[in-house]
Amino acid sequence: MVTRFAPSPTGYLHLGHIRSALEGWRAARDSGGRFLLRLEDIDQTRCRDEYATAILEDLLWLGLSWDGAVRKQSEHFDDYRRALDRLEAMAVLYPCFCTRREIRDEIAQAGGAPHGPSGPTYPGTCRGLDTRQRTEKQRSGIDYALRLDLSRALALTGPLDWVEEGEEGPRRKPVDPEPLGDVVLARKDVSASYHLAVTVDDAIQEVTLVTRGEDLAAATHVHRVLQALLDLPTPSYCHHKLLTDPSGRRLSKRNRGLTIRSMREGGLSAAEIISRAATY
């Protein structure tokens, strides 16, 4: 059993993070496996060293020790580049030159678009550009993103599923990545998106069980497609319920009072915080 906790150093850890960390930590410790720590710091404009240091400190103070070295995504751009090159060679990527505004306008003109978990699905504007049009636009120097051509990808992979570890035991979950559409896998200036980096990292770190919040369940459909395209092993998944505040709203970075730092300063012990994270 190899599990991982993979926060982004864009703020202090809060109770919701600890819930995720606990799921992975317990699964590893209960089975004599390994619990890994990864810092998802690809977006260097939002990540700060100060937060990275604080994450490590908070976890150790809580007693959630990890095994082996911490993997920092920003030190592994070559791994993501290789995966991207491979996908490019399979002709399942295309450059998208749309700005956010253009995507919004296109959707409005078409009378709306199916709504995925992270907003309206990309309408596929740039999917149909021919080679000449693409080269011309790329030459002109405008920014672009590389998107996954989902229908081409699915034609290559065929039907897929993964094993979801739920409270009633494991069950197979069929893959349906349509709601997310043609996701962005890289940008001109950022060499890997969350989807690409996570998929590659879980394989390189030989993670066998991915525990994360149910808000990321939609992404798993896309990750499973990437695993199939890149010939990577498929871990099992456990998407756990998200912690909410007393009014039922999801805990987030806005809930400053619920950072581990502030609870610790408020006099809570590590055991009390762990128990809150498990039961809140």
CA-to-CA distance for 22 and 237, rounded, in angstroms? Answer: 15
Spatial separation of the C-alpha atoms in residues 183 and 181, rounded to whole Å: 6
Q: How far is the CB of 145 from Zn ion (least distance, A)?
A: 8
- Rounded Cα gap, residues 198 and 120, in angstroms: 23
Token pair of 142 as six digits: 């405008």
Report which residue type is found at 230.
L
Our CB check for Zn ion shows the closer of 37 and 96 to be 96
Least spacing, CB of residue 82 vs Zn ion, in Å: 25
Q: Tell me how far, at minimum, the Cβ of 185 lies from Zn ion, in Å.
A: 13
Handedness of CA 243, 248, 253, 255 (dihedral sign): negative
Smallest distance, Å, CB 103 to Zn ion? 7
Considering the complex, what minimum distance in angstroms separates the CB of residue 46 from Zn ion?
Answer: 24
Complex with Zn ion: residue 96 or 203, whichever CB lies closer: 96
**C-alpha span between 244 and 229 (Å, rounded):** 36
Q: Which residues bind Zn ion (CB under 5 A)?
A: 96, 98, 125-126
Distance linking the first and last C-alpha atoms of the chain: 26
Q: Judged by CB, which is closer to Zn ion: 27, or 126?
A: 126
Smallest distance from the beta carbon of 69 to Zn ion, in angstroms?
A: 39
In terms of residues, how long is the chain? Answer: 280
Q: How far is the CB of 87 from Zn ion (least distance, A)?
A: 17
Separation CA 225–CA 149 (nearest Å) = 11
The enclosing H or E element of 143 equals: none
Beta strands in the chain (DSSP E): 2-5, 34-39, 71-72, 93-96, 115-116, 119-120, 145-148, 161-166, 169-174, 184-187, 209-213, 236-240
